[in-house]
Chains A and B, each alone.
Chain A
Amino acid sequence: DAGITQSPRYKITETGRQVTLMCHQTWSHSYMFWYRQDLGHGLRLIYYSAAADITDKGEVPDGYVVSRSKTENFPLTLESATRSQTSVYFCASSVPSGGAAEQFFGPGTRLTVL
């Protein structure tokens, strides 16, 4: 029962580089989410997806791109990384319930942009 996994767990990159963070879940949950966690800001939603090929912006989408060709995968790409994108990134998934539902979180990816 792997649940929800994220890779890599740690990543150091340089300003201007493209970086992709991976998220994989084994539950076949329809909904998937990407958050960033920063000191003093809590968790902020970057993008979410209701199903394969359906994605939508969250609170802080600028500088990020997502795709969802398969239900189980939801990669997050920083097209040109900036220092302000240094953060801990969490992926989560949930089952549709006609409203807000419990979200299951991955272990996170700590990204440092130099």
Chain B
Amino acid sequence: AQSVTQPDIHITVSEGASLELRCNYSYGATPYLFWYVQSPGQGLQLLLKYFSGDTLVQGIKGFEAEFKRSQSSFNLRKPSVHWSDAAEYFCAVGARRDDKIIFGKGTRLHILP
């Protein structure tokens, strides 16, 4: 069965600092991987996705993620965060021949001015 673990419930970084949010997945074959962002009171918006090919994926809002099969990880990164990046971030995993995706429990990002 697929599963997703986001080890950090809360992360606090200073504005302008770099960011890395961790995501580990469990899946037997090559997974489909997603990162979503949820601003307060909003629905979820896709930041980026990985299906195949280049393991470094670029997304919207300056985010990127790297798929590392050997570590079963898909960590999200941003070189310099802005106050508007404060939100909750969800990693999700899916599979070929299955239209459902499984979400992690989320990491809430706090930005210090």
Contacts and interface: CB of A to CB of B under 8 A. Distances in A.
Tell me the interface secondary structure of chain B in the complex.
strand
Interface string A58-87: 100000000000000000000000000000
Contacts of B94: 99-101
A9 to B, nearest CB: 9
Contacts of B49: 102
A16 interface: no
Contacts of A98: 96-97
B34 A105 contact: no
A42 B12 CA distance: 19
A108 B32 CA distance: 25
A107 B52 CA distance: 30
Nearest to A9: B41
Contacts of A102: 34, 46, 49
B97 A99 contact: yes
Interface string B35-62: 0100001111110010100000000000
Contacts of B100: 33, 45, 48, 58, 100
Nearest to A94: B99
B44 A100 contact: no
B97 A41 contact: no
Contacts of B32: 99-100
A105 B32 CA distance: 18
B96 A99 contact: yes
Contacts of A90: 43-44
A8 interface: no
A39 to B, nearest CB: 9
Given A92-B43, A100-B93, A105-B44, 4 more contacts: A35-B103, A45-B100, A99-B94, A99-B98
17 contacts: A33-B100, A44-B103, A58-B100, A90-B43, A90-B44, A99-B32, A99-B51, A100-B34, A100-B93, A100-B94, A101-B94, A103-B46, A104-B46, A105-B43, A105-B44, A106-B43, A108-B42
Interface of B: 32, 34, 36, 41-46, 49, 51, 90, 93-101, 103-106
